């Protein structure tokens, strides 16, 4: 049954920062829990106290087996169901910008991490605590350091050290998606493309070879490039191959002998990272190409039974995820995944981020219906 709380008046109601390690009450309604979580500081690298509170609250639930690695907490049901699914969300936020405390304005809940992703975190915690006999076995993953460098990411650490903890048929990452399914994600890579020339005095430019001028051919090739729009599981992904930076030049009177163009390729998840890099090398054949960053995408896996059942419950058509998210880490483990959470992703990390109260409730209701059907 849907939780009912009195309507919040339009006037602003201010919250206050609280001890992130204080006990959590997971029996409260999901909106109140979201406000509680917003009021608990958990900037990346300081999630320990909140992870402690999450661990204590989940260990008090007799239907869950709870493990911890660093500041990542993993709780599992073990009812022997035919399918196992993962519900995952990160504990951390970006640094505050005078927006730590929760406050209501009408049907919006404002505060640091409200959108990304204390609302989704509250949904996951509520489900973990209250779904004692789900129709699918569930692994709940609450992890650290999502908002910082990839090598610190708690989900990535779990994938390396305890991949068995993440084994499942399907995964839902509670990233903000306007309470709709954004399936899989595209991969991303960056390369540096270098042109070589010959240095000379600009008063005698004919004695040199201008490396910056030579980069014009690279830019022309990129401008003429037609990106793919492959359809995967009924979703149309849109690739992009774009120059995102250029550097060169020595002095105002010197013909430069080197120029470097930085190129970003956003590629659909039907290509592996190696295939994507090879494609970029083919497009830019004739120049020195060095890869500086590569993160493969994630297949949506919407044909899986658990995914099909989930889509039926949401009642909304899925959309492709063009940006990169941690669903890719599940894909690398052979677990198809989608993004599904309350809040507009375009508001993430902004000073005025908020989450609609209705979307927090909707996400809890939809996931509860799916997990109990």
Active site amino acids? 92, 146
Cα 162–Cα 180–Cα 45 angle in degrees, nearest 5: 40
Residues 6+ apart with CB under 8 A from 277: 189, 191, 291, 294
First to last CA, the chain: 14
For residue 285, give every residue at least 6 positions away whose Cβ sits within 8 Å of its Cβ, in sequence order, or none: none
Q: How far is CA 233 from CA 26, 268, 270, 343, in A?
A: 36, 12, 11, 25
Residues in the chain: 373
CA-closest candidate to residue 146, choices 347, 4, 357, 325: 325
Q: How far apart are CA 162 and CA 155, in angstroms?
A: 10
> How far is it, in rounded angstroms, from Cα 152 to Cα 33?
27
As a whole number of angstroms, the distance between CA 164 and CA 181 comes to 26
């Amino acid at each position: 049954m849907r939780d009912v709380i009195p309507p919040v008046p339009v006037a602003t109601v201010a919250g206050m920062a609280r001890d992130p390690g204080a006990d959590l009450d997971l029996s409260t309604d999901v909106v109140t829990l979201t406000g509680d979580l917003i009021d608990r500081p958990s900037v990346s690298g300081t999630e320990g106290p909140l992870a402690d509170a999450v661990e204590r609250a989940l260990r008090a639930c007799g239907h869950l087996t709870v493990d911890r690695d660093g500041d990542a907490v993993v709780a599992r049901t073990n009812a022997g169901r035919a399918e196992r699914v993962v519900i995952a969300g990160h504990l951390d936020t970006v640094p505050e910008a005078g927006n730590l405390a929760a406050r209501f304005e009408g049907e919006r809940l404002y505060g640091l991490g409200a959108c990304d992703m204390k609302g989704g975190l509250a949904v996951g915690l509520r489900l973990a605590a209250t779904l004692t006999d789900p129709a699918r076995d569930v692994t709940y993953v609450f992890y650290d350091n999502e908002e910082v460098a990839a090598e610190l990411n708690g989900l990535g650490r779990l994938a390396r050290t305890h991949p068995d903890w993440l084994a499942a048929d399907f995964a839902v990452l509670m990233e903000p998606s306007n309470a709709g399914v954004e399936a899989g994600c595209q991969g991303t890579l960056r390369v540096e493309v270098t042109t070589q020339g010959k240095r000379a005095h600009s008063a005698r430019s004919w004695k040199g070879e201008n490396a910056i001028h030579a980069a014009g051919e690279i830019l022309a090739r990129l401008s003429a490039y037609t990106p793919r729009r492959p359809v995967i599981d009924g979703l149309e992904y849109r690739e992009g191959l774009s120059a995102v930076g250029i550097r060169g030049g020595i002095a105002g009177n010197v013909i430069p002998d080197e120029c470097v163009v930085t190129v970003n390729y956003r590629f659909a998840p039907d290509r592996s990272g190696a295939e994507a890099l090879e494609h970029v090398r083919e497009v830019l054949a004739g120049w020195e190409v060095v890869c500086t960053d590569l993160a493969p995408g994630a297949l949506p896996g919407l044909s899986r039974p658990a995914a099909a059942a989930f889509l039926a419950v949401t009642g909304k058509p899925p959309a492709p995820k063009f940006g990169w998210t941690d669903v890719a880490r599940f894909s690398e483990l052979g677990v198809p995944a989608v993004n599904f959470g309350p809040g507009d992703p375009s508001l993430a990390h902004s000073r005025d981020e908020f989450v609609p109260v209705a979307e927090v409730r909707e996400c809890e209701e939809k996931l509860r219906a799916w997990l109990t059907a």
